[in-house]
Amino acid sequence: MAAQPLGTGVSSSRRRGASAAVSLLLLPALLTCGVRCAEPRTKPSNIVLIVTDDQDVVLGGLFTVTPLCCPSRSSILTGQYPHNHGVRNNSLSGNCSSPQWQKGPESQAFPVFLSKLEYQTFFAGKYLNQYGQKDAGHVGHIPPGWDHWHALVGNSQYYNYSLSVNGKEEKHGDNYGDDYLTDLITNRSLTFLDNRSPQLPFFLLLSPPAPHAPWTAAPQHQKDYADIKAPRDGSFDKPGKDKHWLLRQPANPMTASSLTYLDNAYRKRWQTLASVDDMVEKLVEKLKSIDELNNTYIFYTSDNGYHTGQFSLPIDKRQLYEFDIRVPLLVRGPGIAPNQTVEAPVLNIDLAPTILDICGFNVSLANVDGQSFLSQMAPSLRNGTARPFFLVEHTGEGHLTSDPSCPSLGPGLSQCFPDCVCEDAYNNTYACVRTLDSSQNLQYCEFADSESFVEMYDLKSDPHQLENIVKKVDPSVLQVMNQRLIKLQSCQGQSCRGIQ
């Protein structure tokens, strides 16, 4: 099957379908690299970054500092927390691909530095949710730093979409061979590798739509995983006891129709990811054929997590729990020994400084909140330390009027499902501090709402966050976590990495 060439990494993780308690898994099998990769090369290392859309963690993984597409992708590009790059949600008014974003953070995103280092840069797929809109420069806007630009206009689609191809609109229909977006991204990246200048290093950022809705599988994968269902373990269909009011409103247990819907969605998500497996296999084989595999770092990750039935929530993200803030992270490359697991926390804001570090750029010159994790993957190449704690933040969205199908809930909500289960709201605005080291695995969250609601979890004893222990924990611990949170919410640059 398509997953096989990835070895025990992506393929076995998707069969398990359960969170792991680690923070970074290094790609095995075809995506491994032994001592030979650390041999000196005159040309800098190449880099490939694959970012899927809404893929929950089923391996080890990294933490996303916000569980929503556009703010998270903005954090990947800038290496900054949302409170510093200013992207609050997926709308233009929330700064997603807005003129303000383009004039500020986008002009300092890491591809700009790669271009200055003479990297050949290639982008294909989803960029930011509002990219290509009329009020955001339309398709003629090409973010600085990119030599080859094949960006999706708007949010994820598999067919019937438009691309900005180097600033010109290219419309696509519903013919599989010409239009299926995941395969188009793959094919154009392979063409780029054939036509590149062999004397210069390259950077590819590939952003397929999978496994985002509408979950349209390629024809050859539409019958895959016929018997798969959403896992019934952990917090699946558990009541949201002692949690923020949004988690207390779903009916529990879930209805039979909701469970059927969930299982169908879960299966279709896997089917769309089968084409991403194909993408990785073809890329690895191409890198081998052009004798670049041993000098190329490959990163595989997602923009945010996703839930399918946890705490009786239907399908979405936007919550503070592990299933929404944990995403896969798999890496291979020069100097990285195969089959490692790094347990120190890694964030999506660390991708930009890590990529710059690999390229030999002085990361201290970049305005980033994250830190390179190259030292954790390849200790022989770099020295470094792990952070003791970090921030997760989300700005909730709602509508000024009540949802017509759920008038009793009143205004201020959004992402409502037929059973009046709403996934977001204005007061679903929160900030969390997460402590993860050898002695503690804690999460402390404060909501910006009329209740000043607080949630706290000890994930060592309660990995599925079933019990809010805020009323049980020692008040001195709460005070420490509160003070850390206050400092993190206003941190910038170095202060985000070394707060004690």
Q: Catalytic positions, please?
A: 69
Strand blocks (E) in 261-306 = 296-302
> Count of CB atoms within 10 A of residue 409's CB?
16
Please check whether residue 35 is in contact with residue 55, taking contact to mean a CB–CB distance below 8 angstroms.
no
Please check whether residue 493 is in contact with residue 478, taking contact to mean a CB–CB distance below 8 angstroms.
no
Helix, strand, coil tally for the chain in percent (to 5): 30, 20, 50
Q: Which residues contact 335 (CB under 8 A, 6 or more apart)?
A: 33, 37, 38, 377, 378, 380, 381
- Structure tokens, 24: 């970074």
> Count of CB atoms within 10 A of residue 410's CB?
12
Give dist(CA 288, CA 282) in Å, integer.
10
Please check whether residue 51 is in contact with residue 357, taking contact to mean a CB–CB distance below 8 angstroms.
no
Q: Which residues contact 175 (CB under 8 A, 6 or more apart)?
A: none
- Structure tokens, 399: 């509508």
Give dist(CA 3, CA 1) in Å, integer.
6
Residue linked to tokens 């210069």: 200
Helices (H), 334-441: 351-358, 374-377
